[in-house]
């Protein structure tokens, strides 16, 4: 059983999603948004860091997953996004969590089944996969999708490792 914290970083709104994954069973725990508003950038980064450290202390996740940076058209936006990611990653690392990164395409593929899915499709599938009574806010849905992607990747790795182990143990060595 693993509690997974997924984070969708942003310099004004950072989404978070927390799930529990045990085998193929996935359970929703919590999600939401860390809103920084129009504060100076240094203050926003501090809020991201402190909020994630607080969430980690409260929920004790064993896994941390975050979306990889993408190339935005605006270099200033890309820089701010990178700084927000950095604050989130440092929050996880200082709390002793390994950091797992996934591209937006990987997340959408894992949750929706196609890498080019739009935000509303991601929200719909997150709601369906986690049996939520309503659609989560877009940034929280993206964070939950990142956590779901990580859970699916872990399951895939375990399946491959298990089948490789069975294949090895079934071999007969001849001399």
Active site residues: 8, 67, 139
In this structure, the number of other CB atoms found within 10 A of the CB of residue 120 comes to 11
Is 67 annotated to bind a ligand? Reply is: yes
Q: How many helices (H) and strands (E) does the chain have?
A: 5, 5
Residues facing residue 5 across a β-bridge: 18, 64
Beta strands in the chain (DSSP E): 2-8, 13-22, 25-35, 63-67, 99-102
Strand pairing class (2-8; 63-67): parallel
Annotated binding-site residue numbers for Mg(2+): 8, 67, 139
Annotated binding-site residue numbers: 8, 67, 139
């Amino acid at each position: 059983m693993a509690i997974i914290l997924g984070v969708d970083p942003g310099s004004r709104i950072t989404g978070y999603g927390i799930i529990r994954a045990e085998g193929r069973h996935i359970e929703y725990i919590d999600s939401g948004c860390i809103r920084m508003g129009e504060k100076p950038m240094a203050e926003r980064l501090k809020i991201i860091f402190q909020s994630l450290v607080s969430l980690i202390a409260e929920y004790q996740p064993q896994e941390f997953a975050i979306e990889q940076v993408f190339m935005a058209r605006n270099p200033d936006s890309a820089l701010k996004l990178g700084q927000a990611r950095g604050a989130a990653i440092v929050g996880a690392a200082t709390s002793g969590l390994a950091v797992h990164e996934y591209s937006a395409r990987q997340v959408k593929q894992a949750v929706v089944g196609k890498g080019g899915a739009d935000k509303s499709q991601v929200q719909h599938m997150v709601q369906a996969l986690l049996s939520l009574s309503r659609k989560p806010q877009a940034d929280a849905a993206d964070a939950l999708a990142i956590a779901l992607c990580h859970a699916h990747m872990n399951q895939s790795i375990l399946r491959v490792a298990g089948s490789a182990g069975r294949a090895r143990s079934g071999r007969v060595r001849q001399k």
